[in-house]
Structure 1
Amino acid sequence: MTAHGPVAPLWLCAACSAPWSCPTRRQQLLHEYATTPAALALYLSSYYVAASQDISWAPAGTLHRRFLGWLP
């Protein structure tokens, strides 16, 4: 378990207060899902959907880049 988990409804990192997913968590996720990148995309998509409901005022493109746009 990581300390860099999301804190809703603002979706900030619990450990460093950066917008989730923070750089540390991104690196952890890339390592954890190195052999299953499609599973990582699905995992992050579920967070994207939840965050889009909590942060409904944010432009969809911004949230997409934040949750999925950094994937290789």
Structure 2
Amino acid sequence: MTTHAPVLPLWLCEGCDRPWPCATRRADLLAERERVPLAYYLSLCLIAAVQDMGWAPVDVLRRRFIGWLP
């Protein structure tokens, strides 16, 4: 199991202290899940992050959570 889990409410990576999902977690997620369930999971994370980080621009969070999906 990865140590690159999100630390809430700032959604930072537990393993590398970068914005979650970090590059390592993105690679893990792509390897672990099929595209549609992954998009659904990250959309739920996006919704939670928007609630946790109301000060962050929504478009920035959208790119961070789902904008990198192939």
Bin the TM-score by the shorter chain: over 0.9
For 1:43, give the aligned amino acid: Y
What percent of counterpart residues are identical?
57
In the other structure, the counterpart of 2:53 is 55
Give the TM-score normalised by the residue count of structure 2.
Answer: 0.97
| Residue 37 (structure 1) shift | 0.3
Moved over 6 A (4+): none
Where 2:21 maps in the other structure, the secondary structure is coil
Give the TM-score normalised by the residue count of structure 1.
Answer: 0.94
Unaligned runs of 5+ in 2: none
Unaligned runs of 5+ in 1: none
Give the aligned length. 70
Output the CA distance in 2 between the equivalents of 1:51 and 1:60: 9
Output the CA distance in 2 between the equivalents of 1:21 and 1:61: 16
